[in-house]
Amino acid sequence: MVIWGVVKYKLRRRYLYYLLRIVSLISLIFPIKINKFLGRRIGEYAYFIAAKHRNKALENLRFAYGNEKSEGEIRQIAKGMFRNLGENFFEILCITKFTPQNIDKYIKVDGFERLERALSQRRGFIVLTGHFGNWELLAGYFGLRGYPVTVLARRLRFEKFDKFINALRKRLNVKVIMRDESAKVILRLLKEGNPIAMLADQDIDSIDGVFVDFFGHPAYTPIAPVALALATAVPIIPMFIMRERSGHRIFVEEPLELEITGNKEMDIKANTEKWSKIVESYIRKDPSQWVWMHDRWSTKSE
């Protein structure tokens, strides 16, 4: 029975992969505007049929906001999250329609001078963001504009999916380092002056982390961004992309002012909590653009 379950799981993934490729080809027929419309509609449909993910999102929203929001508001946020993810999905599928010539029509940038200042110093830095807005387009925008972009990503379990997603990233001139690769590779790139982008807003108990406050509750949070910054003396620049009615807007924040007391454990915890608060502040601006279906508070502190 166990073997048959594994076989069915593999077959299901294979069927989903080929369905993805077919939908990807169909999406190329339509302009970006139509693809975004289709994504919204499919996202709304997914809200009703994906009960497991819907219920997890609702549970996390209730946990995070408590009495701050009514049940109706909570459900509207969850529905908006599915709608946003649907748009993300179709935007990624038709990624080849974004070009250096038209990308500025869809994406605006606030704080561009902060990025230029960091690049002019000719040393590496860490771009810290989260699963917010369409994070793939955040990296893709700068890749299409000709800036050096390297992202730290998690290897997907199904190799065909992994290759498909990384091929789309490559079309945007985005380089990828897998999280399970040697830390020496990341350190070398930073020392050579390359910026590296990280998404560190999820609870991943297989990597080193600390518990910090997130929406009023202790959340297990990766320490890698702060540990790397302290080890290499490179700045951390928070950066986020938000969906707007006409497209997207990227916000480049000032480099994080790191607290350095000499106590390594305290410094890592204090600075991790500092950037985690910045992530929370963006989520609060438009909570429907964050992935609430992720079990952010699954790891419990002793």
What distance in Å separates the CA atoms of residue 246 and residue 131, rounded to the nearest whole number?
20
pLDDT at site 182: 67
- Residue 134, number of CB atoms within 10 A of its CB: 22
Residue type, 113: E
Whether 289 shows a pLDDT value over 70: the answer reads yes
Note the pLDDT of residue 156: 72
Enter the DSSP assignment of 176.
E
Q: Where are the domains of the chain?
A: 2-289
Q: Which residues contact 291 (CB under 8 A, 6 or more apart)?
A: 81, 85, 131, 132
Q: For residues 215 and 217, give the distance between their C-alpha atoms in angstroms, rounded to a whole number.
A: 6
219: pLDDT confidence band, cut at 50, 70 and 90? very high
pLDDT given at position 302: 64
For the cut 50, the answer to whether the pLDDT of residue 3 exceeds it is: no
Q: Hey, what are 80's tokens?
A: 């908006």
Higher pLDDT pick, 43 / 159: 43
The chain-wide mean pLDDT, for the chain, equals 88
- Note the pLDDT tens digit of each residue in 105-117: 999 999 999 999 9
Q: What single-letter amino acid sits at 243?
A: R
Contact 118, 255 (CB under 8 A): yes
Cβ contacts of 105 within 8 Å, gap of 6 or more: 247
Is residue 8 scored above 50 in pLDDT? no
The Cα–Cα gap between 20 and 14 comes to 10
Supply the pLDDT for residue 204. 80
**What pLDDT is recorded for position 6?**
36
Residue pLDDT, tens place only, 243-259: 998 899 999 999 999 98
pLDDT at 246: 81
CA distance 206 to 196: 21
For residue 144, what pLDDT is reported? 93
Highest mean pLDDT among 16-20, 131-135, 162-166: 131-135
Helical H runs in the chain?
2-27, 32-49, 51-65, 71-93, 103-106, 112-120, 135-144, 159-171, 183-191, 224-232, 264-285
| 101, 165, 200, 135: CA torsion to nearest 10 | 30
pLDDT in tens, 46-71: 999 999 999 999 999 999 999 999 99
Q: Strands 175-178 and 126-129, how do they pair?
A: unpaired
pLDDT band, residue 28 (cuts 50/70/90)? confident
